[in-house]
Structure 1
Amino acid sequence: MINAIARVPPPQNEPVLSYTASSPERATLQAALQRMASERIDIPVVIGGKQLRTGKKDEVRMPHKHSHVLATVHEADASHVEQAIQNALTVKEEWSRMAFTDRAAIFLRAAELLATRYRPLLNASTMLGQSKTAHQAEIDAACEAIDFLRFNVHFAERLLAEQPLSAPQTWNQLDYRPLDGFVFAVAPFNFTSISLNLCTAPAIMGNVVLFKPAPTAMLSSWYVMELLREAGLPDGVINFLPGDGPTLGKAALTSPHLGGVHFTGSTPTFQSMWHTVGENIQRYRQYPRLVGETGGKDFIFAHASAAEDIDALATAIVRGGYEYQGQKCSAASRVYVPESLWPKLKPRLQEFIAELRMGDVTDFRNFMGAVIDERSFKKVSSYIELAKQSGAEANFVAGGDTDRSEGWFVKPTLVQLTNPRHRIMQEEIFAPLVGVHVYPDARFEETLRECDQAATYALTGAVFARDRKAISQVMDTLRHAAGNFYINDKPTGAVVGQQPFGGSRASGTNDKAGSMLNLVRWTSPRTIKENFAPPTRVPYPFMQG
């Protein structure tokens, strides 16, 4: 026992390593890539710290070389969900009663392990299993993941320190209890850091978690579990359940012990989960907390005053639209450009896009890898075919080609669309396909309203302009169109502690991952009033005659 009011170390954002040709980090990463590519590991279900090999197996393949199998995964079923729930509940009381400083130390140790020895492991597994380049893996699986661990501990400390006022002769306190039951954490494929945050943020606040990783991010998710185990996380606090989403989801969401859902993924999936919770609302011991970051149809809106910033605008469109193959919920997927800028912007975009190399991510010269799987490849291919069949309504500015022979490769594609309500301007595609609508300069205000109303999503967006009045007008008209808004910058790349991330409308519950607002959702506060001088007589003074 320590007789002290301890303070966690002040967090700082993890520096991004460069991976230049002569750097030691590149050599270390390349060694990890070679080792992982040469082995085929066996990934089990993990419940209460025990590894279970169910016999029902799936395979982890490289998206950019889909014949190459990286791992075999054992899938959980509904019975394993129930087993995990019961196991988690047996360790919950001890975990929730552990001193915050002891819980915090586990996650701070995980951050340091990830900043050092686990850095090449998480980066390499993310590159091979999710087809990210070294830079995209570094800013995700290393830096953002480390930031989530360090900053969430810091945010938790700030939250616990938030206490009510006390009147004379009394002492009021808030006791930040975990939720009743367990938290069901359901992760996407596109960010290893999100997978880590989804399961660890509730755990930091004393909750127990059932972690369902994405089938197409299983390799990196396994190393996340290994990282937390080595950091000292007690068995059963986070249980690892790979398997079929609907099967596992139904078992978890209909359990009376469901305390909350921490989700990142598609809008239809989250809506389906919410529907299931609504249908079972009378079963639960408490009303479950539903936290979801879902889809996006993110925009870049250019004003005529950006004429002197064509290269910056073109860079934002290309980086924002094509980094990680456009598979970011924040990726720029629709662009609005005034007619006065288009003659200068179009050739710059064509030039920039033509320079992008695509291929195996272990070749550090490549800017892009492959889309995540065959399903994604078929989806984006259907939109490209739709554009080709749209006649004069659609004009290919760049790209439009696909190749599935070795990997799920889609060339960065830019399509000019005369109709601002074309499906490519409205629907989430989650691939390297960007739609651009060129509007008459005189229709600036009308086009702003179109941008606000065209899509059901409201995640990220950006404006490019020098005219401050125009910037103010865009910010005002599009105030509810983006939960993360950028001025003269691409709409991707939110940093923990700097740009809390999340959107509303069909983009989610906007609980802002990377801030204290998210952690509030994983606690059920109890108010405690202690009276040091309680009254000893019933009548009040006003009752005296």
Structure 2
Amino acid sequence: MIPYRPEPLTDFSAPHHQEAFAVALARVQEQVGQTYPLIIGGQTVDTGRYLESYNPSAKTELIGRVAKAGKPEIERALRCAQEAFAIWSEVPVVERASLLFKTAAILRRRKHEFSAWMLLEAGKSRAEADADTAEAIDFLEYYGRQMLALAQRADALLTPFAGEDNHMEYIPLGVGAIIPPWNFPLAIVTGMTVSAVVAGNTVLLKPASQTPVIAYKMVEALLEAGMPAGVVNFVPGDPEEIGDLLVEHADIRFISFTGSKDVGLRMNELAAKRIPGQRWIKRFVAEMGGKDAIVVDAGFDIDLAARTIVQSAFGFSGQKCSACSRVIAHASLYDPLVERVAALTRELKVGDVREMAHFTGPVIDQKAFAKVTSYIEIGKQEGRLVAGGGASADTGYFIEPTVFANVAPSSRLMQEEIFGPVVAFTKSTSFEEAIAIANQTEFGLTGSVLTHDRSHIAYARRKFHVGNLYFNRKCTGAIVGVHPFGGFNMSGTDSKAGGPDYLLLFTQPKASSELL
């Protein structure tokens, strides 16, 4: 088996890559406005009710209309998934893994095309979309290999015992609900779906309402690769109409969710309650957000720290659960660091991401625009605005990258997840105090420490309570297989997506023993 290697990113400074992407973008632009059906049991279903997906950079541009599932379609999809599970769960692991490898090849051949859809439907820049597509390919390659390894290693973990023939195997759970977010509309959708599928499960995939077209394109790729009917059932719809049904249904064995803390906590509560006819304890896998901090120690290079902060805070308009939203800087470099971050932030260009000159694009929709701009107003009361603060929703949902200084650690700006291009600075007088402030939040997803002091690195390893801790680099950009991703506290179940233990969440070990 060829070892897994992360997919390389595209260098868009090269003219031939620019030209290739322009061709793909033009091809995708010609396809906007189409209507897409549900896919249930391998059959297309048009319900006559639709989610309409618009370009957040040009809010009147319809990207696509996607059929909405209601309760009848969910019930039908569950029956199809159950029927498919009886067959798919017994398909040899090597064949299930092969499906993932074939899908990865399809995405690799059409990489710019998938990325172009993200420019239009999610408002991602070329670089951000390219990284998203690369991560989707990585999930396919990595989970396929991990499942092959898992199938081989089970018996090797057992202790030999004379007079008995003992075995252990990892078997699938059943039918699951996959409920992904909009901010990584290809990578996370792909990773959440295929991790369950390669383990032998069948699923109902309810994509985010903001980015259903990209999710449909991913399911198309799985079908092109040879996925049997009913293994993945594509059932977008209004969360208010089908969300609780998917989580509560007695026939759902597990729920895999990525999204907000409040929604995740509600799902966890619903999943924990037994429904009449339910024969199992449902498994709940969740990644629910963060309030991520970068700690800048005394003596660290100010320009390098500033560039790290700007990259971490404002890529994809800060719409990442790993984005830097808090900076805790030592008093000895606090003022010049704030000034340098403000200067770099003012240089960033915001606008329609179809223009290469724009560093970042819009927030995803009107609801996000209203939320982020309300926090900017809160920030004006809680701190000192040093850069950005402007916003316009005339043509798209554009918000300037915004920097606040002198914000108290207990303030709303330092405690609540904003999920937008806003970063707040606070001052520390010692490294120990900085780590204490960093931990002063209900979340625990990612964090970064910028320091040259080895004793401080050792201290942070012990005391900085986050699932993904980085030193002397940005706090975003986890790579599949390299940085298993998931957080503590209200950041979720620390499921470590893209890690060697992740597939265990979608399997159950079965031991058998025969007396010789």
- Taking the aligned partners of 2:18 and 2:210, their CA distance within structure 1 comes to 25
**SS of alignment partner, residue 6 of structure 2:** coil
Offset of 1:447 from its aligned partner?
A: 3.6
Structure 1 residue identity aligned to 2:141: R
Judged with a 3 Å threshold, the aligned counterparts in structure 2 of structure 1 residues 149 and 385 are, in CA distance, closer, same or farther, namely same
**SS of alignment partner, residue 217 of structure 2:** helix
Q: Within the alignment, does 1:204 sit opposite 2:191 as a pair?
A: no
- Taking the aligned partners of 1:498 and 1:450, their CA distance within structure 2 comes to 28
Q: Is the 8 A contact 2:431 2:456 kept in 1?
A: no
What is aligned with 1:417? 406
2:137 aligned to which of 128, 131, 146? 146
Offset of 1:444 from its aligned partner?
A: 3.6
- Taking the aligned partners of 2:254 and 2:240, their CA distance within structure 1 comes to 17
C-alpha deviations, 1:6-28, integer Å up to 9, x for none?
Answer: xx4321111111122512x3323
C-alpha deviations, 1:285-317, integer Å up to 9, x for none?
Answer: 2111110011100000111131xx112211111
What is aligned with 1:157? 148
C-alpha deviations, 1:486-543, integer Å up to 9, x for none?
Answer: 00111000000100000010000011000121100111121011222xxxxxxxxxxx
C-alpha deviations, 1:93-135, integer Å up to 9, x for none?
Answer: 111111111111111001111111x212211111110000111
**SS of alignment partner, residue 501 of structure 2:** helix
- Taking the aligned partners of 2:71 and 2:307, their CA distance within structure 1 comes to 47
What is aligned with 2:454? 468
What is aligned with 2:56? 63
Larger deviation, residues 13-22 vs 495-504: 13-22
C-alpha deviations, 1:331-383, integer Å up to 9, x for none?
Answer: 00001011211232123212211221111111111110000000000000101
Q: Within the alignment, does 1:286 sit opposite 2:275 as a pair?
A: no
Q: Is the 8 A contact 1:82 1:251 kept in 2?
A: no
C-alpha deviations, 1:122-165, integer Å up to 9, x for none?
Answer: 11111110000111011112x11111001101111221122223
What is aligned with 2:47? 54
What is aligned with 1:168? 162
1:398 aligned to which of 378, 381, 387? 387
Where do residues 296-445 of structure 1 align in structure 2 (5 Å cutoff)?
296-306=290-300, 309-388=301-380, 390=381, 393-439=382-428, 441=429, 443-445=430-432
Structure 2 residue identity aligned to 1:435: A
Q: Within the alignment, does 1:275 sit opposite 2:269 as a pair?
A: yes
Structure 2 residue identity aligned to 1:12: R
C-alpha deviations, 1:169-215, integer Å up to 9, x for none?
Answer: 32211122111x31100010011200111111010000000001001
Larger deviation, residues 271-280 vs 421-430: 271-280
Identity of aligned residues (%): 34
Q: Within the alignment, does 1:233 sit opposite 2:227 as a pair?
A: yes
> Unpaired runs of 5+ in structure 2?
none
- Taking the aligned partners of 1:139 and 1:295, their CA distance within structure 2 comes to 20
- After superposing on structure 2, the runs of 4+ consecutive aligned residues of structure 1 that deviate more than 6 Å are none
- Taking the aligned partners of 1:270 and 1:529, their CA distance within structure 2 comes to 39
Offset of 1:254 from its aligned partner?
A: 2.2
What is aligned with 1:452? 439
Q: Is the 8 A contact 2:125 2:361 kept in 1?
A: yes
Offset of 1:282 from its aligned partner?
A: 5.8
Structure 1 residue identity aligned to 2:389: G
- Taking the aligned partners of 2:3 and 2:36, their CA distance within structure 1 comes to 36
Structure 1 residue identity aligned to 2:500: M
Larger deviation, residues 407-416 vs 349-358: 349-358
Q: Is the 8 A contact 2:210 2:364 kept in 1?
A: yes
Query: Between Structure 1 and Structure 2, how many residues are aligned?
Result: 511
C-alpha deviations, 1:35-81, integer Å up to 9, x for none?
Answer: 32233111111101111111111211110110111111111011111
Structure 1 residue identity aligned to 2:505: R
- Taking the aligned partners of 1:474 and 1:12, their CA distance within structure 2 comes to 30
- Taking the aligned partners of 1:254 and 1:473, their CA distance within structure 2 comes to 43
Structure 2 residue identity aligned to 1:506: M
**SS of alignment partner, residue 12 of structure 2:** coil
Q: Is the 8 A contact 1:121 1:223 kept in 2?
A: no
- Taking the aligned partners of 2:29 and 2:7, their CA distance within structure 1 comes to 27
Please report the RMSD computed on the Cα atoms of aligned residues, expressed in angstroms.
Answer: 1.3
What is aligned with 1:3? none
TM-score by length of 2: 0.97
- Taking the aligned partners of 2:424 and 2:80, their CA distance within structure 1 comes to 49
Q: Is the 8 A contact 1:36 1:70 kept in 2?
A: no
What is aligned with 2:83? 90
Larger Rg: 1
What is aligned with 1:135? 127
TM-score by length of 1: 0.92
Q: Is the 8 A contact 1:255 1:283 kept in 2?
A: no
Q: Is the 8 A contact 1:281 1:287 kept in 2?
A: no
